[in-house]
Amino acid sequence: MSRDDSSLAWMKIQKSTCRYPTTNFQQFSILLVRMLVQISRNHQALWIQTVHHVMCGVLVGLCFFGTANDGSQMFNHLKMCVGLVIFFAYTQIMVPVLVYPQEVKLVKKETFNGWYSLTPYYAALTVSKLPVQLTLNMVF
């Protein structure tokens, strides 16, 4: 066997070996189930988020009550729209920002040990937050 043949064979072996024993979809589904269980067990966080959305909805409703039918208050309509966009954007962004420092140590250990890669982790994290976000936004 020539040197070129052996290097080609080595490249084929190297490409065929996978870093993780499971596929990205299997990692995603396992992580998604784990994260959904964690969210459902964290009653305090769900309660705080629900109260926050209800209270903010009541306050916004009181501030802009009766202005929807008045066309001369265009700037109040604009303020309400911008305020709602900011509310929905920042309330969904702040939860991961506050949780990140605690979670980064665990994620580093688990990815270093080869349990899963970061792509399925962040995909599962995003998808697992959707039911709570959509429900709370409907409540708002």
Could you report the per-residue pLDDT of 84-93, keeping only the tens digit for each?
Answer: 999 988 888 8
Confidence of residue 69 (pLDDT cuts 50, 70, 90): confident
**129/103 Cα distance (integer angstroms):** 15
Nearest Cα to Cα of residue 22 among 90, 119, 127, 97: 119
pTM of the model: 0.71
The answer, yes or no, to whether residue 48 has pLDDT greater than 60, is yes
Q: For the chain, first and last CA: distance in Å?
A: 71
Confidence of residue 130 (pLDDT cuts 50, 70, 90): very high
Name the pLDDT band for 35 (thresholds 50, 70, 90).
very high
pLDDT value at 51 more than 90: yes
